[in-house]
Amino acid sequence: MNFSSKLIEEAVEAFATLPSIGKKTALRLVLHLIKQEAEISEQFADAILRMRKNIKECKKCHNISDHDICSICKDPKRDASVVCVVETIRDVMAIEDTGQFRGLYHVLGGVISPIEGIGPTELNIESLKERVQKDGVKELIMAISPTIEGDTTIFYITKQLKELDVKVSTIARGISFGGELEYADELTLGRSIIARTPYRLNNG
Amino acid sequence: MNFSSKLIEEAVEAFATLPSIGKKTALRLVLHLIKQEAEISEQFADAILRMRKNIKECKKCHNISDHDICSICKDPKRDASVVCVVETIRDVMAIEDTGQFRGLYHVLGGVISPIEGIGPTELNIESLKERVQKDGVKELIMAISPTIEGDTTIFYITKQLKELDVKVSTIARGISFGGELEYADELTLGRSIIARTPYRLNNG
């Protein structure tokens, strides 16, 4: 693409680094910002800068947060004895959107995947064990995508917690095998939390 | 959508104001920025701020520019006697991409459209007349989208310039009627500039 302006070119390049945004889309976004008042662009850039600078990871559940402890962990009305274990912060948002869960969360940061070089130490499993030991957690709901890696992760965590007095359940497998959790519809996802099934080692 | 973070929510809202970006896409972009180093977000925001603050309109051709006069108007190797009249700055980029045109441009800023309340005075027509009178322009190539509004605009401009010694041509109608100029492929658009036809009032 031919730009008569270096400034435009740089802004287009910046947008085009984002996922799913090509150069043509990037140009459309930049020209949109040019058409608007300069203030709009300032607010836009400011929202991104402020977000990136101040965003924290909750020290308890590893969710993204504005403070050291996130608003969900801090909420006294939520049931701290039930913890929903998820892969990513997007899964937290998806489950919150269902309105079906009033416990707390624990974000693993992924699943065990030898192919991608992700072992148990790369995930927030040790801190989960600590929470179970110290915070009076009675039940863990494994809301992990039903893939081979997800199943391996559930198996590993359950084994780690075997000696502890905690019930482990998985969300009901209403979600098709191989499906991604974040694309499930709210109803299915909500139901699968209610109809969770106890998890058994060795299938029994 | 449920955000546990006000910062994330604001950044998502900011992205979602852009055209063709919904909340789900906005969230994906924001989470992408969070995963990257903070520097990436800073560079991104900076590119937008710098662009929006310093971008100018070329005083001659009304193209966007880093300086008072754009790099195309300033280029001594370009033929100042041929001016290509276009609707928007995107059309300038599209024609530059064909590599078929070595003259200058004039950006009207739109076409005459009574329905949208755009009359001749809203467009850069007066400054085009001035350029023809003062800058020794010998030919105007009307690279306007072949719509009713576009045709009206070409008709109006040609009538305005009737007394002046300037040839008016339109790009060859290789582009389908009702089509948008910026989505034409480079070959068709390039050929249509080469095979431009003289414009006649009253069809003859």
Give the pLDDT of residue A49: 93
Question: Rounded to whole angstroms, how far apart are CA atoms B3 and B12?
Answer: 10
Lowest mean pLDDT among A14-23, B42-51, B70-79, B193-202: B193-202
Considering only CB atoms, A34 lies closest to which of B32, B42, B52, namely B52
Considering only CB atoms, A4 lies closest to which of B3, B51, B92, namely B92
pLDDT above 70 (res B177): no
Question: Rounded to whole angstroms, how far apart are CA atoms B100 and A90?
Answer: 48
Q: Are residues A176 and A116 in the same domain?
A: yes
Q: Are residues B99 and B194 in the same domain?
A: yes
Give the CATH number for residue A185. 3.40.1360.10
Give the pLDDT of residue A97: 86
| Alpha helices by DSSP H, B36-83 | 38-54, 71-74
The pairing of beta strand B103-107 with beta strand B79-86? parallel
- Please, how many CA atoms are within 13 Å of residue A116, restricted to the half-sphere of its CB? 9
Phi, psi of A141 (to 5 degrees): -100, 115
Q: Is residue A153 part of a domain?
A: yes
Whether the model clears a pTM of 0.80, i.e. scores above it, the answer is no
Partners of residue A33 in chain B, C-beta under 8 Å: 18, 48, 51-52
Q: Is residue A65 part of a domain?
A: no
Cβ(B99)–Cβ(B54) below 8 Å? no
Q: Is residue A186 part of a domain?
A: yes
Give the CATH number for residue B24. 1.10.8.420
Partners of residue A43 in chain B, C-beta under 8 Å: 14
Whether B27 sits inside 8 A of A90 (CB atoms) is yes
Q: Are residues B34 and B88 in the same domain?
A: no
Whether A52 sits inside 8 A of B72 (CB atoms) is no
Whether A66 sits inside 8 A of B11 (CB atoms) is no
Find the residue in B nearest to A68 (Cα). Answer: B5
Partners of residue A1 in chain B, C-beta under 8 Å: 93, 97
The region, left, alpha or beta by phi > 0 then psi within -120 to 50, assigned to residue A171 is beta
Q: How confident is the model at residue B136 (pLDDT cuts 50, 70, 90)?
A: confident
Q: Is residue B34 part of a domain?
A: yes
Q: Are residues A88 and A163 in the same domain?
A: yes
In this prediction the ipTM stands at 0.73
Question: Rounded to whole angstroms, how far apart are CA atoms A35 and B65?
Answer: 14
For chain A, residues with pLDDT lower than 70 are: 173-179, 195, 202-204
Give the pLDDT of residue A204: 46
B36 to chain A, closest Cα gap in Å:
10
Q: Are residues B17 and B85 in the same domain?
A: no
B164 to chain A, closest Cα gap in Å:
30
Whether B90 sits inside 8 A of A43 (CB atoms) is no
Alpha-carbon Rg for chain A, nearest whole angstrom, is 21
Q: Is residue A71 part of a domain?
A: no
Q: Is residue B69 part of a domain?
A: no
> CB under 8 Å, gap of 24 or more: what pairs does B108-117 form?
B108/B62, B108/B144, B108/B153, B109/B62, B111/B87, B111/B144, B111/B145, B111/B147, B111/B149, B111/B150, B111/B152, B111/B153, B112/B149, B112/B152, B112/B153, B112/B156, B113/B149
Give the pLDDT of residue A94: 87
Q: Is residue B25 part of a domain?
A: yes
Q: How confident is the model at residue B43 (pLDDT cuts 50, 70, 90)?
A: very high
Calculated CA dihedral for residues A28, B51, A33, B93, nearest 10 degrees:
-30
Considering only CB atoms, A8 lies closest to which of B34, B42, B55, namely B55
Q: Are residues B134 and B165 in the same domain?
A: yes
Q: Is residue B65 part of a domain?
A: no
Cβ(A4)–Cβ(B71) below 8 Å? yes
A204 to chain B, closest Cα gap in Å:
37
Question: Rounded to whole angstroms, how far apart are CA atoms A99 and A46?
Answer: 31
Q: Are residues B109 and B162 in the same domain?
A: yes
pLDDT digits (tens, 9 = 90+) for B137-167: 999 999 988 788 998 999 999 999 888 889 9
Q: Are residues B96 and B30 in the same domain?
A: no
Partners of residue A6 in chain B, C-beta under 8 Å: 66
Q: Are residues B12 and B96 in the same domain?
A: no
The number of domains in chain A is 2
Q: Are residues B120 and B191 in the same domain?
A: yes
In the chain, the amino acid numbered A163 is E
pLDDT digits (tens, 9 = 90+) for B1-37: 777 788 889 999 999 999 989 998 999 999 899 888 8
Burial A48-71 (b: 16+ CB within 10 A, else e): bbbbbeebebbebbbbbbbeeebb
Q: Are residues B133 and B32 in the same domain?
A: no
Whether B14 sits inside 8 A of A92 (CB atoms) is no
Intra-chain end-to-end CA distance of chain A, in Å: 62
Contacts of A42 (CB under 8 A, 6+ apart): B49, B52
Cβ(B108)–Cβ(B85) below 8 Å? yes
Q: Are residues B114 and B195 in the same domain?
A: yes
Partners of residue B47 in chain A, C-beta under 8 Å: 10-11, 13-14
Range of the structural domain that residue B93 is part of: 77-203
Considering only CB atoms, B48 lies closest to which of A45, A51, A72, namely A45
Question: Rounded to whole angstroms, how far apart are CA atoms B172 and B190?
Answer: 10
* Length of chain B measured in residues: 204
